[in-house]
Copies of this chain bind each other. A is one copy, B any other.
């Protein structure tokens, strides 16, 4: 009996392009029969946000963060050449043209294929994001759980 290989990604960035890269690698690794975890922290949590507004009680700063951060993967900007939103439109245009998968579909596919999607509880607190605002079927954990996965890992990335 051989053990499964393991890919563990810390998704820190809240950019459409970087999140795409993370999920393309993750989906590839699942296809390669790895156990895959994506640990969403800081701005990476926004990939897990529901698109619709959710009514929750928040402090003032948390409300501001909530307003300024994108609700869901589809609203994220690019890490380069964002041009106030033109860049993401261009990328989505070429994705469609080449019949590649847009980011929300990549995430959906990841979830369906059994990638473990984890939200970092500590940074949820800091940014004031609550469980009701994040998508279903995800897990909640801290840095200890991340390290438990990562220290046995073959491919560890911080994106």
Q: Using a CB–CB distance below 8 Å, which chain A residues touch chain B?
A: 5, 7, 10, 12-14, 17-18, 21, 24-25, 28-29, 31-32, 34, 41-43, 59, 61-62, 64-65, 68-69, 79-81, 90-91, 93-95, 97-98, 100, 122, 125-128, 143-144, 146-148, 150-159
Contact = CB atoms under 8 A, between A and B. Distances in A.
A64 B90 CA distance: 9
27 contacts: A10-B25, A12-B17, A17-B42, A17-B43, A21-B41, A25-B143, A28-B143, A28-B146, A32-B148, A59-B97, A61-B90, A61-B94, A62-B94, A65-B81, A65-B94, A69-B81, A95-B126, A100-B122, A100-B126, A150-B154, A151-B154, A151-B155, A153-B154, A153-B155, A156-B156, A156-B157, A157-B157
A104 to B, nearest CB: 16
B143 A24 contact: yes
Nearest to A94: B126
A94 B61 CA distance: 7
A100 B126 CA distance: 9
A5 to B, nearest CB: 5
A2 B123 CA distance: 34
A150 B155 contact: yes
B93 A61 contact: yes
A24 B95 contact: no
Given A98-B125, A151-B154, 5 more contacts: A12-B18, A17-B42, A91-B126, A94-B128, A100-B122
